[in-house]
Structure formats: structure tokens, C-alpha cells
Amino acid sequence: MKLTCPENSCHNNKFFKKDGFYFRKSDSKYIQRYRCNSCGKRISTAQLSPCYRQKKRTINHLIEAMYCSKVSMRRIALNLNVDKKTVARKVEFLGLQARMFNQKYLQKLRVNPVEHLQFDDLITKERTKMLPVTISVAVDAETRRILALVATQIPAFGLLAKKSRAKYGYRKSEHKLGLEQMFQKIEKVVAKNALIRSDEHKFYPEFVDRYFPSAVYIRYKGGRGCIAGQGELKRLARDPLFALNHTCAMLRDNISRLVRKSWCVSQSIEKLQLHLDLYMKFHNTKLI
């Protein structure tokens, strides 16, 4: 990024003179100041950083690591000796940064398109089990990279369906919308003649036909879950969807709000999506 003059009427973005330093207390660094050659306004390189004006920038990476390792937001605040509102704000900031990172990450993958794709959905909830949410997951089965995570609302099912309608009213299913978003994200990352595997969900074939008409698409019947894998790892001897199921089990084990029978619960889909974006960055950069 390049310096631009802070004065609106001045369009100088080239000519600056060095003009002293200032000491930034939050991370004990000296920051170079510049002066605009045409209007004389002062500007510093600190303004180019996405962390500009953050007072606790040194704990950003610690929050990211803990938040992607099953630590709850309250416990992060306790451990780092900061307020829980600070953690909530940081997590939102980090999530948005990770979202931009993931976009660039997928663009880079276009050079070497994915040859073997596996995708599925993972069920969770917002606030109560009567408001379920589905997370569409796409995984590169060869490298185990996460290619997309999209959270969308679905209506309650099973015994809770009637009770949910009585209490919260009609809940529209946005599952197809989520799948559409997921396929748009990975459309250019996956090779046209790739091998695609999924389970037998009735929505899936229409999307695969539309986005990857020349791909080899195989569907498998889902197996019973084993307890150690949080219900995601199956009791099959050779699970054809192992890469995907193992990634789902990792999501369940590393994202506090997705753990089964946990005290941590998502309050909104937007916050869940930010958490997923941050985890996707963490998973693809630190674990792969």
C-alpha cells in the first residue's frame, strides 16, 4: 500500500518528505512520520496497517490461535486479562481480515486446480436447537485444504419442528442459497474434469450438474458415526468420504461453538460465519 495525502482537496500520493518519528505505546515501536510536499499535512505509515488505532494489537495473534483451538471467548478474555468486549471486537476484526485472506488464497489456487473435491453439510444451531443452521463444507480431498465454509439457516426438523413453528414462526430454508454461494466460491478453483464425492442429499446433484457438468460425480450412502469423531467420523472400515468427515470432525473439535453438548452457543449466523472464516484461514495456513 502507498501513502496518500489525508487532505481531501490534495491529490498527492507520490511526494512526501520524512518528518520525524513517534513512539507507539501499544507495541513499543517507532513509527515514521511524513509530510506532504504540496500541502504540508503530516501522515504516518501506521495508517496503512489494518490494526490502525488498536490499543491491544499485540494480543491479536494469541486471540486467533485460542479462538481456533476450542477456547471460549470468555476464557480468552480471562487468560489474556482483557475485557470480554475487547475479545468480541477483536474476533470480528480478525474474522473480516481472514475473509479477505481466504479470497486471495482461493485465487492463488486457480493455478493448480483441485482434482478431487468432497463436500457435505454440518448441522449446528443459533441460540437454541429450535433454530438450526447448516454449514456447507467443501474440502480438497488430496491436500485436506478447506475450500469453502458457508453457514445458512434451515427450519427445525424432527420432533422440534412443530414446537419451533409455534414459538419462532415460519423459518425459511436458505440451504440452497448457501450451496449456491459455496459453488460460486469454488467454481474456478476445482478442475472441470475433477472427481467429486458427496453423500446422497437430494439437493446436491442439481448444483454439481450446473457448475461441473463434465466432472465425475459419485454419491455414497452415509455411515453411522462413532463417538470419538463427534459423530462426524464414521464406523466404516474404509470411508470414501474420509477427508471430508475428518475435516468436519476437526471443525467440531476446534470451534468451541460447534462442539456437541458444549456450553458455547452461536448467537447469530453472522458471528458464526466470521468464526468459520477465521478457522478456515488458521486451518489452511497452520495445519496443512
Among 7, 92, 180, 253, binds Zn ion (CB under 5 A): 7
C-alpha cell at 247: 475435516
Contact between 139 and Zn ion by CB under 5 A: the answer reads no
Q: Name the residue nearer to Zn ion (CB basis): 32 or 60.
A: 32
Q: How far is the CB of 48 from Zn ion (least distance, A)?
A: 16
Contact between 4 and Zn ion by CB under 5 A: the answer reads no
Q: How far is the CB of 171 from Zn ion (least distance, A)?
A: 53
Q: Which long-range contacts (CB under 8 A, 24 or more apart) does 283-288 make?
A: 283/68, 283/145, 283/146, 283/247, 283/250, 283/254, 284/102, 284/105, 284/145, 284/146, 287/250, 288/143, 288/144, 288/145
C-beta neighbour count of 171 within 10 angstroms: 16
Q: How far is the CB of 49 from Zn ion (least distance, A)?
A: 21
Are 151 and 178 in contact by the 8 Å Cβ rule? The answer is yes
C-alpha cell at 161: 419442528
Among 3, 4, 10, 88, binds Zn ion (CB under 5 A): 10
Q: How far is the CB of 30 from Zn ion (least distance, A)?
A: 23
Binding residues among 36-55 for Zn ion as defined by CB under 5 A: 36, 38-39
| Side chain identity at residue 288, one-letter code | I
Span near Zn ion by CB under 5 A; candidates 11-19, 45-53, 72-80, 97-105: 11-19
- Taking Cα atoms as reference points, which of 106, 113, 117, 108 lies closest to residue 140? 117
Span near Zn ion by CB under 5 A; candidates 31-39, 103-111, 165-173, 181-189: 31-39
Contact between 5 and Zn ion by CB under 5 A: the answer reads yes
Angle between helices 175-186 and 204-211 (to 10 degrees): 30
β-sheet bridge partners, residue 35: 17, 42
Contact between 11 and Zn ion by CB under 5 A: the answer reads no
Binding residues among 199-218 for Zn ion as defined by CB under 5 A: none
CA gap 272, 254 in Å, rounded: 13
Q: How far is the CB of 32 from Zn ion (least distance, A)?
A: 17
Q: Which long-range contacts (CB under 8 A, 24 or more apart) does 215-219 make?
A: 215/117, 215/190
Contact between 12 and Zn ion by CB under 5 A: the answer reads yes
Q: How far is the CB of 152 from Zn ion (least distance, A)?
A: 46
Residues that bind Zn ion (CB under 5 A): 5, 7, 10, 12, 36, 38-39
